[in-house]
């Protein structure tokens, strides 16, 4: 199997042990479960971890949920976008909504697979976001996943690992940048472009350059079969476009309740026209580079934050809009949402 964290392939031995996290000492302890009843074994496996043998040794020690290898077809989804483009807010709003039943129209439920990782994500991201606090910039040099969920639905059970690293690392041309290595194991990519964002990204909105997209595409193209990788472009911070066609009409729709490939194609066409019109042609490169792509207008917070650098908040609270649409497209293109309609998503 392939480890979702370090992207190395390794053999997962059938050992009767799991590592349990000891919170008091903040360490993992190896427990032999062979003498326990099957019910207790299953319970400990659900709560326990397995250390990745870390074959290339290019990552620090890391642990996977002990049940990870029980699932046949795990997914790794990465976010790519410039620094302050809105990746972390979008991922937080997306995972939050997936948890609160947002994928119900597709008969998919979401649960934590990695309980410790999810508890951390909940406390530090979801809860802060729900209180109307802006989230801090992601630290550079992080080579770890944000969260690992288990999605259950008509397509079976699929673990989904999300990567959200610092835009600065994604924009760094340094060869073999460790933080962007997740791309090597990615099954799908969410490209994040901030609409109307000259202030925060410190570049004119029209400048047709998108280093993070270019570098990621270049890196992905070095991998066999990467052309078939499903990708979606999320134009986030679209709340700033809410009175502007064509974004207004999509934002007003709110969350969709059915999968409709033709509607997704219409939205993609509108996003394409928008990006083209503002001269952000470079942000359309994923569309040209991958066989299956969709594009969406989204807003994580629903409005601008106020305040200073480390202490920013959303004065009217947060109102995520259409944040699940990029994820739903990815789920359709990766078969997590099965069926004939899903098979049409992202195709011309």
Find the part of the chain contacting Mg ion (CB under 5 A) among 135-143, 184-192, 232-240, 254-262. 135-143
The minimum distance between CB 59 and Zn ion, in angstroms, equals 6
For Zn ion, the binding residue among 18, 33, 52, 179 (CB under 5 A) is 52
Angle at 331 between CA 238 and CA 266, to 5 degrees: 50
The distance of Cα 280 from the centroid of its chain, to the nearest Å, equals: 23
Exactly one of 138, 180, 289, 294 binds Mg ion (CB under 5 A); that residue is 138
Q: How far is the CB of 136 from Mg ion (least distance, A)?
A: 8
- Six-digit token pair at 135? 């989230």
Characterize the bridge pairing of strands 231-236 and 147-153: unpaired
CB 337 within 8 A of CB 106: yes
Going 122 to 123 to 125 to 129, the CA torsion angle's sign is positive
Name which of residues 284 to 343 contact Mg ion (CB under 5 A): none
For helices 261-277 and 324-333, angle between their N-to-C axes, nearest 10 degrees:
120
Q: Are 160 and 134 in contact (CB under 8 A)?
A: no
**Residue closer to ligand GTP, measured from CB, 245 or 315:** 315
| Cα separation, 248 vs 261, whole angstroms | 20
Measured from the CB atom, is 12 or 313 closer to Zn ion?
12
In the complex, the residues that contact ligand GTP under the rule CB under 6 A are: 81, 83-89, 134-135, 137-138, 166-167, 200, 236-237, 239-240, 299-301, 303-305, 312
Among 88, 226, 283, 301, binds Mg ion (CB under 5 A): 88
Residue 237: name its binding partner from Zn ion, ligand GTP, Mg ion, none (Cβ under 5 to 8 Å by kind). Answer: ligand GTP
Interacting residue ranges for Zn ion, rule: CB under 5 A: 3, 5-6, 52
């Amino acid at each position: 199997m392939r480890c979702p964290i370090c992207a190395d392939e390794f053999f997962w031995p059938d050992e009767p042990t799991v590592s349990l996290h000891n919170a008091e000492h903040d360490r993992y302890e190896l427990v032999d479960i062979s003498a326990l009843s099957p019910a207790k074994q299953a319970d400990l496996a659900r709560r326990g971890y397995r250390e990745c043998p870390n074959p290339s040794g290019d990552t620090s020690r890391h642990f996977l949920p002990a049940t990870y290898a029980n699932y046949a077809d795990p997914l790794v989804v990465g976010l790519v976008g410039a620094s302050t483009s809105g990746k972390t807010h979008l991922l937080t709003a997306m995972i939050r909504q997936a948890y609160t039943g947002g994928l119900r129209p597709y008969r998919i439920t979401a649960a934590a697979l990695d309980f410790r990782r999810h508890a951390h994500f909940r406390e530090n991201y979801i809860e802060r976001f729900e209180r109307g606090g802006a989230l801090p910039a992601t630290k550079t040099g992080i080579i770890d996943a944000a969260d690992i969920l288990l999605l259950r639905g008509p397509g079976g059970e699929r673990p989904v690992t999300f990567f959200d690293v610092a835009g600065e690392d994604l924009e760094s041309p340094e060869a073999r940048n460790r933080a962007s290595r997740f791309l090597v194991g990615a099954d799908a990519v969410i490209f994040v472009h901030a609409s109307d964002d000259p202030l925060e990204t410190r570049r004119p909105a029209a400048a047709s350059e998108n280093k993070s997209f270019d570098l990621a595409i270049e890196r992905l193209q070095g991998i066999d079969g990467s052309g078939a990788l499903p990708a979606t472009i999320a134009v986030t911070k679209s709340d700033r476009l809410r009175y502007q066609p064509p974004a207004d009409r999509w934002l007003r729709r709110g969350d969709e309740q059915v999968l409709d490939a033709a509607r997704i194609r219409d939205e993609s066409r509108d996003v394409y026209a928008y990006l083209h019109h503002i001269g952000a042609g470079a942000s359309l490169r994923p569309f040209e580079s991958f066989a299956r792509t969709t594009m969406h207008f989204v807003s994580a917070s629903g409005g601008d934050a106020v305040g200073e650098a480390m202490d920013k908040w959303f004065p009217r609270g947060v109102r995520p809009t259409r944040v699940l649409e990029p994820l739903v497209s990815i789920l359709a293109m990766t078969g997590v949402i099965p069926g004939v309609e899903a098979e049409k998503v992202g195709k011309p």
